[in-house]
Amino acid sequence: MKQSEWSIMGQYGLFSAASKRVVFNSKKVIFKMMLLIALVIFPLMGSNNLAKAYDLPSVNLGFTSFLDGGPPAGPGFYFAQYLQYWQSDTLTDTNGGSALPDFANEELTAWISLSQFLYQSDKEIFLGGKWGLDVIVPVVGLDMSYGTDNSAFPQDNGNGVGDILVGPYLQWDPVMGAKGPIFMHRIEVQMIFPTGAYDENKEINAGSNTFSINPYWAGTLFLTPRLTVTTRLHYLWNAENDEPNRGFATLGAEDTQAGEAVHANFAMAFEIIPKQLRLGINGYYLKQISDTQMNGEDVPDRREKVLGIGPGMVYHFSQNDHLFFNAYFESSAENRPEGERINVRWVHHF
Using CA atoms of 185, 139, 165, 228 in order, give the dihedral in degrees to the nearest 10.
-10
Q: How far apart are CA 164 and CA 161, in angstroms?
A: 8
pLDDT (mean) for 3-10: 43
Position 28 confidence tier, pLDDT thresholds 50, 70, 90: low
pLDDT (mean) for 304-329: 97
Topology of domain 3-349, CATH:
Lipocalin (2.40.128)
Q: Identify the pLDDT of residue 54.
A: 75
Inform me whether the pLDDT recorded for 10 exceeds 70.
no
Inform me whether the pLDDT recorded for 86 exceeds 80.
yes
Q: How far apart are CA 145 and CA 154, in angstroms?
A: 9
Domain boundaries, the chain: 3-349
DSSP 8-state class, residue 98: B
Inform me whether the pLDDT recorded for 149 exceeds 60.
yes
Q: Identify the pLDDT of residue 36.
A: 41
Q: How far apart are CA 265 and CA 125, in angstroms?
A: 27
Q: Determine which of 176-180, 269-273, 317-321 has the lowest per-residue pLDDT on average.
A: 176-180
Asked if 239 and 257 touch (Cβ cutoff 8 Å), the reply is: yes
Let me know the angle formed at the C-alpha of 247 by 241 and 252, rounded to the nearest 5 degrees. 75
Q: How far apart are CA 153 and CA 116, in angstroms?
A: 34
Inform me whether the pLDDT recorded for 2 exceeds 60.
no
Phi and psi, residue 44, nearest 5°: -65, -35
**What residues are paired with 204 via a beta bridge?**
156
Selected residue with higher pLDDT from 286 and 20: 286
Residues 6+ apart with CB under 8 A from 257: 210, 238, 239, 240, 241, 292, 293
pLDDT (mean) for 123-152: 95
Selected residue with higher pLDDT from 244 and 32: 244
Inform me whether the pLDDT recorded for 21 exceeds 80.
no
Q: Identify the pLDDT of residue 179.
A: 86
Inform me whether the pLDDT recorded for 13 exceeds 70.
no
Percentage with pLDDT > 70 across the chain: 85
Report which residue type is found at 350: F
Residues 6+ apart with CB under 8 A from 206: 138, 139, 140, 142, 157, 159, 160, 161, 162, 163, 196, 197, 198
pLDDT (mean) for 184-212: 96
pLDDT (mean) for 202-209: 93
Position 105 confidence tier, pLDDT thresholds 50, 70, 90: very high
φ/ψ bin of 128: left (φ > 0), alpha (ψ from -120 to 50), beta (otherwise): left
pLDDT (mean) for 12-33: 43
305-316 vs 277-288, strand pairing mode:
antiparallel
Q: How far apart are CA 163 and CA 176, in angstroms?
A: 38
The average confidence (pLDDT) of the chain is 88
pLDDT (mean) for 206-229: 97
Position 274 confidence tier, pLDDT thresholds 50, 70, 90: very high
C-alpha distances (whole Å) from 115 to each of 83, 136, 212, 349 are 9, 6, 19, 14
Position 250 confidence tier, pLDDT thresholds 50, 70, 90: confident
Q: How far apart are CA 92 and CA 115, in angstroms?
A: 30
Asked if 318 and 12 touch (Cβ cutoff 8 Å), the reply is: yes
